[in-house]
Amino acid sequence: MNKLQWEFNENLVATDDAYAYIVSGDEVFAKQKLHTYKVPCDKFFIEFEDGLDLPVGKTYRAVIPAGLLYRNGDPATADEEAAVEIRVCDTFDKADDKYFDLYNNNFSTAQSFLFKFYLYVWAFDDAEMSLLRNGIEIMRFTAKERFGDFDLGYVEGTFGKELNFEKGMCFSFVLPKGSVHSEREDIVNKEVRKDFVGKYHSTFAPIEYESCSVAGASALTALDEVNVMYTTPVQLAPNARLQLVDADGNVLKEATAVLSHNDKAYSVDADFAGFPLNDSDSYALCIPEATVVGSGSDITVNQRTLVPIKGGVVSVECANRKQPLVSLCGSTLSISNASVGDRIVVYDAAGIIILRITVTATDMQLPLPQRSHGVYIVKLNGTAYKVNMVYTNVAPQYYRNNPK
């Protein structure tokens, strides 16, 4: 605090020794000579040449004692103190949502995001912003301050690339509490966030794993390391975990996921440290939704995936995905090697659902709306396939595990 001013609804005069003080409870934090601009005047103030830092989280009273101010020519009117309350908060909030800026502001594509405050702010060295997809944190970015307009502060996170926000998907930008501070480091931001719905022109197929291997004792009486392989470039979400679940889906053990890669594959590993398995029980390795995230511009994630594990198996368990065949000839969609009871959902290129059906046979032919051409996304058993509608006499090309 550099200056504190009282303003009255009439002109007053101060005594020569007039002063004001700042107090909280019985503790006096400051006492300063009272100044005015002219005599008489409706404004009086105290100043702190080096600034006054009042402890945060307290309420104070700024008081001009009784007997120090009176109406001009009538000293007998100096019978009341003039007091105001001051609250020194330990947090501050962002500016209104209208000041939130995604640059192009259409929630489709962006390279950075920005929060605005009604005061100058500085980021702590480890400050980060988060990007959430459907409430799940999938990415973090370094947060940096930016200075611009008078008395306005900015905090910016840059992606290092352009990101596409999937059509119809819910996203949030979050700046955690205590990421930035005012001129005083003990006055920090509240958690601030912006929720929005993606408007990119298409939907994205989920990420699928290629293989999963499970290590343990020779008869799988205990679970040690697991390895999940991906052939598409991926990164891990913050605090990524793999889980061991029982037949009812209860989480028995979590293990930290670690990512490594070479020229051909990306490997997600986790060590379950010899967790005991019963010979007669069934288990599954669970890869929670959004554990792995695509490293390209399209924000793609994995769906929740369960890989069966059987206790007591006399070998290292290895699980692979089903290999259904999906093809399109004319307006007829053909599905082979499907599992009865699975759900099939077909989207057009704009992300609109045009067919939703349950698999009733391992081989099915499904009519789609007739068009001269077009792209469809077919989701089956957790895997998405992209098929093109082109009328031709050539036999249909099969799309084998070809996520978009």
pLDDT in tens, 137-154: 999 999 999 876 667 888
Domains 97-197 and 211-319 share a fold: yes
Among residues 324, 322, 328, the alpha carbon closest in space to that of 365 is found at 328
* Residue 165 token pair: 């926000």
325-390 fold: Immunoglobulin-like (2.60.40)
Report field, pTM of the whole predicted structure over 0.85: no
Q: How many CB atoms lie within 10 A of CB 391?
A: 11
Residue 395: per-residue pLDDT: 37
Strand-by-strand arrangement of the 251-256 sheet: 251-256, 241-246, 282-287, 305-310
At which residue do the structure tokens 């949502």 appear? 97
CA of 131: how far to CAs of 109, 200, 262, 360, in Å? 14, 16, 27, 39
In single-letter form, the type of residue at position 91 comes to: T
What pLDDT shows up at residue 376?
84
Neighbouring C-beta atoms of residue 3, cutoff 10 Å = 11
* 13 close to 72: Cβ distance less than 8 angstroms: yes
Whether residue 109 contacts residue 196, with contact meaning beta carbons closer than 8 Å, is answered with no
Sign (positive/negative) of CA torsion 290, 378, 226, 288?
A: positive
Nearest-CA neighbor of 69 among 113, 15, 144, 115?
A: 15
Task: Break the chain into its structural domains and give their ranges.
Answer: 3-88, 97-197, 211-319, 325-390
Q: What is the CATH number of domain 97-197?
A: 2.60.40
Could you tell me which residues come within 8 angstroms of residue 22 by beta carbon, excluding any fewer than 6 positions away? Answer: 4, 28, 29, 30, 31, 52, 54, 60, 61, 62, 63, 86
The upper half-sphere exposure of residue 14, i.e. CA atoms within 13 Å in the direction of its Cβ, equals 24
pLDDT in tens, 287-319: 999 999 999 999 999 999 998 887 655 434 443
Q: Which residue has the tokens 């601009």?
A: 37
Angstrom CA distances, 312 to 138, 187, 246, 308, 309, stand at: 36, 58, 14, 13, 10
Which fold does the domain 211-319 belong to in CATH? Immunoglobulin-like (2.60.40)
Across the chain, what does the average pLDDT equal?
Answer: 85
Output the tens digit of pLDDT for each of the chain's 404 residues: 899 999 999 999 999 999 999 999 999 999 999 999 999 999 999 999 999 999 998 999 999 999 999 988 888 877 788 999 999 999 998 876 654 554 545 788 888 888 988 888 999 999 999 999 999 999 999 999 987 666 788 899 989 899 999 998 999 999 999 999 998 999 999 999 999 999 998 888 899 888 888 876 556 788 989 999 998 899 999 999 999 999 888 999 999 999 998 877 899 999 999 999 988 888 999 999 999 999 999 999 999 999 888 765 543 444 344 567 788 877 888 888 777 777 788 888 777 888 888 888 878 888 887 765 677 888 876 677 778 765 443 333 433 344 44
